[in-house]
Amino acid sequence: MSAAWQPTATVPVDLEKMRETVSAVLKADGGPVLPEPPDTHVTVLTELLRGHLEVMIREVETAAGKLPDTIPRYCALACVGEARGKLRARPAARPGGTIANARRLARVLAALCDHHELLDGEPG
**Does residue 41 lie in a domain region?**
yes
Exposed/middle/buried for residue 104 (C-beta within 10 Å: 0-12, 13-18, 19+): middle
Domain count within the chain: 1
**Does residue 1 lie in a domain region?**
no
**Does residue 115 lie in a domain region?**
yes
53 three-class SS = helix
Cβ-contact 64, 119 below 8 angstroms: yes
Cα–Cα distance measured from residue 118 to residue 18, given in angstroms and rounded to the nearest whole number:
16
Cβ-contact 99, 37 below 8 angstroms: yes
Print the domain residue range for 104: 15-120
pTM over 0.75: yes
**Does residue 5 lie in a domain region?**
no
**Does residue 96 lie in a domain region?**
yes
**Does residue 6 lie in a domain region?**
no
Q: What DSSP string describes 21-48?
A: HHHHHB-TTSPBPSSPPPHHHHHHHHHH
Exposed/middle/buried for residue 5 (C-beta within 10 Å: 0-12, 13-18, 19+): exposed
pLDDT in tens, the chain (124 residues): 445 545 545 567 899 999 999 998 888 777 777 566 666 788 899 999 999 999 999 999 999 999 999 999 999 999 999 999 999 999 888 888 888 899 999 999 999 999 999 998 755 5
The single-letter code of the amino acid at 7 is P
